Amino acid sequence: MITTVCLNSESKKFTEDCRAADISELRLEAGNVIWADVSDPTSRDFEELAEEFEFHHLSIEDCRNAHQRPKVEEFTGYYFIVLYEAELVGPTDRLELRELNIFLGKNYLVTVHSRPIRAIETAKRLWPEWTDRAEQGSGLLAYLLIDGIVDDYLPLLDIVSERMDDLEDSIFGEWRAEVIEDIFTIKKKLLYLRRSITPLRDVFNTMLRREQPIFPRETHVYFQDVFDHLIRVADTIDSLRDMLSSTMDAYLSVSGNRMNKIMKRLTSISTILMSVTLIAGIYGMNFDLMPELKWRFGYVFALLSMVSVGLALYVYLKKVKWI
């Protein structure tokens, strides 16, 4: 379904629910900025986009095929941008990535997505508040949309950072064996985020450095702002990955120390039992002076010997902190 909104930069008036068939005419009128949002697109929607906006068939084909990598491609008169919105959903904070395809021209913005995108609602709400800068064209609208997506990455990373703090408390506090599973879960989330965010730096670096006639130089300051935010997000991800590696090393170190303590205790218990068993075995093999046969105190002597040796070994091992 295609939803179209048109803003006239001169009159500052919005025209909503424009027909898709009128888009080609609205594009030709000076001062118009058009936003066409395509949710859950059909084959007919793609045909109308190609017809009304004269998009290259390669960009339409990339838009049809989901799970594209984050990228920017320059075609005649417009950019084709692919990026992802991220959100933690459910009680287990499952990471969900939603693909958004953007066709960005001088006076139009086309967004194509199969699932709801929160940043689109945010941009729709903010756009009327920026009508005093409507002469900036669709570049300003693209900034509101993309900046909303990028800004949502930081609160998400804050949540991941809090989870990592909880893991560290579990490692050095109340031990939980399933901590290792949580570590790998967070590691996988950071990997997916890095794959979705790091290429965006190249996307906006390309848009800023390339000499292109689509937007005036004044519009580049907005893309520079998004680029700076992306640098901060990417650096935060790299920092969290380094911290997660340190957390993994701490887990393995603590786990090794716990295993060493357990082995020491088992070795100590085995030593005590072996010593007691040694007395019982040697004395029990003496058939001439076997307890309760020729010496009525032999049984008591054997038991006292076992207890004495066992207690002596226990005191010694406790002193050297093996128990």
- Taking only the tens place, the pLDDT of each residue in 113-144 is 998 899 998 888 888 887 777 777 788 888 88
Q: Which span out of 266-270, 291-295, 300-304 was modeled with the highest average pLDDT? A: 266-270
CA 304 to chain centroid = 64
- Checking if the pLDDT of 290 tops 70, the result is no
- Using CA atoms, how far apart are residues 145 and 118, in angstroms rounded to an integer? 10
DSSP 8-state assignment for residue 210:
S
Q: Is the whole-model pTM more than 0.75?
A: yes
The per-residue pLDDT for 124 is 87
Which amino acid is it at 214? I
Reported as a pLDDT band with limits 50, 70 and 90, residue 320 is confident
Reported as a pLDDT band with limits 50, 70 and 90, residue 310 is confident
Q: Bridge-partner residues for 315, per DSSP?
A: none
- Using CA atoms, how far apart are residues 13 and 167, in angstroms rounded to an integer? 53
Mean pLDDT across the stretch 48-76? 85
CA 263 to chain centroid = 38
Q: Is the dihedral of CA 161, 165, 166, 170 positive or negative?
A: positive
Q: Copy the structure tokens of residue 106.
A: 């001088």
- Taking only the tens place, the pLDDT of each residue in 195-241 is 888 888 877 777 776 655 677 777 778 888 888 888 889 899 999 99
Reported as a pLDDT band with limits 50, 70 and 90, residue 318 is confident
Reported as a pLDDT band with limits 50, 70 and 90, residue 112 is very high
Set out the domains of the chain in order of their start, with CATH numbers.
1-134 (3.30.460.20), 259-319 (1.20.58)
Strands (E), the chain: 2-8, 13-16, 32-39, 71-75, 78-89, 94-105, 108-113
- Taking only the tens place, the pLDDT of each residue in 9-39 is 777 787 777 777 777 777 777 778 888 888 8
Percent of the chain, pLDDT > 70? 91
The per-residue pLDDT for 212 is 57
The per-residue pLDDT for 298 is 67
- Checking if the pLDDT of 295 tops 70, the result is no
User: What does each C-alpha distance from 128 to 104, 111, 133, 136, 225 come to in angstroms?
Assistant: 19, 18, 10, 14, 20
215: alpha, beta or left, given left = phi > 0 and alpha = psi -120 to 50?
A: beta
Mean of per-residue pLDDT scores for the chain: 82
Instruction: Determine contact, residues 232/154, Cβ cutoff 8 Å.
Output: yes
Percent of the chain, pLDDT > 90? 7
- Checking if the pLDDT of 67 tops 60, the result is yes
Q: Which residue has the tokens 């045909």?
A: 47
- Checking if the pLDDT of 292 tops 80, the result is no
Q: Is the dihedral of CA 254, 256, 261, 262 positive or negative?
A: positive
Reported as a pLDDT band with limits 50, 70 and 90, residue 111 is very high
What does DSSP say about strands 94-105 and 108-113: parallel, antiparallel, or unpaired? antiparallel
